[in-house]
Structure formats: structure tokens, C-alpha cells
Structure 1
């Protein structure tokens, strides 16, 4: 009985059927097709595989995929990638500019944070850890060395980064009323001069700031080579604008008495090297 049942199940897959198409009015046979369950199953599987394969090829290798939600065209992807790269570059540029203008703001306010001093001190300590031979002058040539040092005092700055001699031009001539003093955070010299006296650029460079400040009045900052910046505060007028190129000795402003932190016509002059203040009297003779 079990064998007979198995045989009947097998015959169901191979049993033939006829699919006939008739004319509904005349019952005329128009089309007929012999089928069995096995053939229908095989044809269905093959058709499904072919349909899936054709759809995959069309989506993967033809522009038709652009019309499917979630897929972007190649051009859009390239543009998006390029915009992402440009955005990253702009973020880095903005961060760099923010840090640069932060330094300028500290210069304008005459304020340096403790962290900034710590960073400068750590750099100085690293630079001074290099062992150097003893070059102390002997007694016989001490006078000659002193004479040479005095001659170079007002004309040359020879820093670790300076590849050539860097000469500063006196921005204005006059009497020094306020000396450089780190203890009171006065990182400049105040040079008294008549109102309207021309203020000249101390060296070739680019104007990075030229505007009004409530505390310092008309102020101008010039960036020079080797990380040097000179600052001119309390001017009565400005002759240059931001991004202007100036030459050493070129008139950039006039002496004035502008801003709240002033008691008379004078020039407040500062020199900075990579964020570190320098005493201007070590390099320039103002008298």
C-alpha cells in the first residue's frame, strides 16, 4: 500500500496536462500546450533566477540604478567627496586663523595667559638643553667683544630662526616715557613725540590689523619675516589698511593720543617673536 502511494505521488509530477485557449463564442481551439507539474516548476525556477540576475546586472552596471531610491549617481558622489575634503580643509584653515587672531587679540589687550608663558618657557628650556662648548671671552679680548656687542645692539636681531641679519628701523624718534617691564605686563616702550609725528614701519612686512580699539585707540600690527610682529598703538590716524604691504621706513600712521589707556601723545611700540615679547630697546635706538 505504501509503495502504491509513493508511485502515485511520483506520477503527479510527471502526469501530463493540457492548457487550451478557446474562442468564447465559437469554442474554437486557438492554442494548446501540454504541461506537467515538473516542467512548470523548472521553468518557474529558471525564470526567477534569470529575472533576479538581470535585475542585479541592471542595478550594478547601468545608470538605471540612479532612479532607485537610496542610490546616487557617480557624479553626485564625486561632488560630495570633493565637498567633504574642502570642508575639512576649511575647518583646518578656520582653526588656524582663530588661533592667529587669538594671538593678535592678546597683543592688543597686552595680555598673555599663564599657559602661554608655560608653553614659551618649555620651548625655551628645550632649546637651551643643547650642550654648547664654553665660549666665554678671555680677559684680553673682552673689551673688543663689548664694543662689537654695543655696535650691534641697535641694528641686528640674530635669533635661532633668523637666517640673515634682520634690521629694525626706528618707528619714531623721541623720549622714552615708559620702559619694557614684564612684571607689570608692559611689553613695550612708550615713546613721547609731538602729535602728528609720522610713525614708520620698523621693517618690511604685511599689515595684519589696522583698526580702532577702545583701550588702545588707532592700532596697527605688521607681520614680518621669521615670525616677528610689531605693534603700534595710540596713533592719531592710520595711513595703511589690513593686507597692505609696507617697506621699512614707510609712513604707516601718525602719533596721537587715542584710546583710554593713554595720558598724552606718544607711540606704544611692541616687538613679538613667535608669541614671545621682546624689549624693543635691545634692537632700536629711539633717541
Structure 2
């Protein structure tokens, strides 16, 4: 056994020369000195590198071909993502339905103080907070009874609106301007008979129906808390939930409702809950 080990050691450590010669004149082109021990070590290192690369590829790039569990794992991931997306979509639809319902109540004037406060977070009030609330409530009631435009007295930041481009809903002549003190929260535009009414920007229809005072009314929710409202239409083209783009026809000009004396479009623009003058942002 010792003799075998000695013979193997001598064989591994024996020095050899590998010479490359020219076939025609036998001149030396290259010379390499080596031992079988170095050759075995180099081969083992190469084997480890190839094995590592192979395992990495099998577990990553080529997993779909070699791993029988790959398809099942990917399916589970897709199911989890779909479940998350469905939950998110359901929440968005619920929020939108709640918003549409609230907006319709606001338009009809059916919103009560109890309904508004019920949606707000509840916290314990101190004595000073109670006094401030009572004082504010008294001011609110006084302003409301006077019929003033207390909702519109604050400075409204319209810089963002001025940076946007709005499509003109209709071409015509303004017969009655924006007058919030007179409770005219939009502009009246007189135009040709059966003229189409177009949406000013991309958005979603949140109201489309009949009211006794305004006739056929359609409202569109745009981004950045912007809402456009089109009243007294002869016909409504879009329905609640429809997505509309800038320039899409949403209605036909008309003379419906009690608060009208002739064919025209009453157009309102609401930003962050306050009415703004449409002529400051749109050319009719």
C-alpha cells in the first residue's frame, strides 16, 4: 500500500513538458510545463465552476423546463396577485359608489349634518374644542340663513387648473355669466339647435339623469378633484360609470327643466368642492 501511494505521488508530481512544434521544420512554437497534480486540480476547479453555473441556470433561467414545481409556483403567485388586485378593485368600486351616492345627495340637497359627521374619525373633544365647535356652528348657521357664498369666500388655488388644457364643451354666446352671490354657479351658453355637448377633459361619468329643476344633467369626475357639470340637455349620450375622453360627446343641447327660459347649456366647473368661473379656464 505504501508503495502504491509512493508511485501515485511520483506520478502526480512528475514534471512534464508539453511542446508544440511546426510540422514542416519542427521548430518550437510553444512550451508548457505541467504536472498531473496541476492538471487534476485545474480539472476539479473547472468541474466546480461548470456545476455551479449549471445549478444556477437550472434554478433560474431554465427552471420552467427542469423544475416540475415551477408551473405550480408561478400559478400560485398569479393567484395571489389576482386576489390582491380584486380586493383593491373592490375597494375602489366601493369608494366610487359611495362618492357617487354622496354627490347625488349633494346635488339634490339631501345631505344632512349627521351623514357628513358619521364618515369622519371620532375623537374625544375637550371643553375648548366644544366651545369652538359651537361658535363655528353658530357662524355656519347664520351664513347659511343669509344665503351668502360662504363656501366660495376663501382663496382658491387655481394654478394647477391653469396648467391644464380643457376642451370647449360647446361653441356659442354666454347669455348669463358666473355669479355665485346670485347662486348661479356656472355660465349659460346659447348655441345652435341640436348642438352636441362635449366633455372638457378625460374622466368618468358620476351622474347622468333627470332633475325637475335642471332637466337632463350629466356630471363628469376628472383628476385633481375636478368635476364638470352639464345641465338642461335635450338628450344624454353617456351613462354613469362610462369613461370619457376630452372632446367626447356627452349630451345634446336642450331646454329641459324648470330653471330655463330657452335652449342653452348651463355649464359648471367645481374644483376641490368649490365652484370656479369656467371662462377663466375655457374659451367658449
What TM-score, normalized to structure 2? 0.49
Q: Bigger radius of gyration, 1 or 2?
A: 1
What TM-score, normalized to structure 1? 0.49
